[in-house]
Structure 1
């Protein structure tokens, strides 16, 4: 990111990776620009640190945001995890959870189509990042219950949503 970029993007729309880098810098979150079209960073959620990866596809004007809660799904738990992912995704309006077939990594994924100018506002950037972290926090306990607590996917989801509703 160029010097002075933080001040520029705080008041204007900017290329997506620049805007997200400025947001991370302003919040004091660690990040690194992988390229002009990709960045990664880390945010502490309620349950764990989440790795965020932001990938810009200028040819489609689509920004993809991935949030990885550092949960690997063991082969013997994949069927229960896939069942839970399907049930969790029914609860979501934006984005979805998935399990990468290579390595079994759980992730949240959201794609945002930007306008013809391909620019991202600060409000959009904040909403994308906050939604990713909130959804990972909301469903993290359900995945823990299935993967390490030996609960059924339905019980895990019900318990996680009740627990989350009871927090202050």
Structure 2
């Protein structure tokens, strides 16, 4: 753990963008603080490099995390992809997947309400980012099955969720 992250972790919380910047730096993930309210970066997952963007809305005390797996959904695939989204979102406890209407980009979105102080702890930051990457990795194959293998939404989800007995 870097000295900066260690000193932040010892406190009760930090401004959300500052905490996320320290987390990204400590993990060696490239990032840029686009403003005092926004940070973006890249994280390598199991299937792809994900673009992660976090936007802090101080007036609402909400931190929105977006994770983009760089999957665009063509218009002719929107119906099965939307069906797959519904099946996936039924299984999610935190966050959800969506398709941006402008451009058909797949994204994972989660909004975290922070307390009255508007501070983010290290454990909260880690949990938010790790959950986003885990969910994108978990369902990435299902989207590929729908988009490239012409499987139905149910077949794609069932195929993607098969647990392997070991690792190759």
Q: TM-score, normalised by structure 2?
A: 0.94
Q: Which residue of 2 aligns with 1:20?
A: 20
> Residue 10 of structure 1: CA displacement?
2.7
Measured in 2, the distance between the counterparts of 1:113 and 1:147 equals: 34
Q: Which residue of 2 aligns with 1:60?
A: 60
Secondary structure of the structure 1 residue equivalent to 2:161: helix
Measured in 2, the distance between the counterparts of 1:114 and 1:90 equals: 25
Number of aligned positions between the proteins: 163
> Residue 89 of structure 1: CA displacement?
0.2
Measured in 2, the distance between the counterparts of 1:45 and 1:106 equals: 16
Measured in 2, the distance between the counterparts of 1:41 and 1:16 equals: 15
Q: Which residue of 1 aligns with 2:132?
A: 132
Matches within 5 A, 1:56-95: 56-95=56-95
1:18-40: CA deviation from partner (whole Å, max 9, x where unpaired): 00000000000000000000000
Measured in 2, the distance between the counterparts of 1:25 and 1:11 equals: 17
Secondary structure of the structure 2 residue equivalent to 1:32: strand
- Segments of 4+ in structure 1 off by > 2 A? 4-8
> Which runs of 5 or more structure 1 residues have no equivalent in the other structure?
none
The answer as to 2:144 corresponding to 1:144 is yes
Contact 1:9 1:19 (8 Å CA) reproduced: yes
Q: Which residue of 2 aligns with 1:111?
A: 111
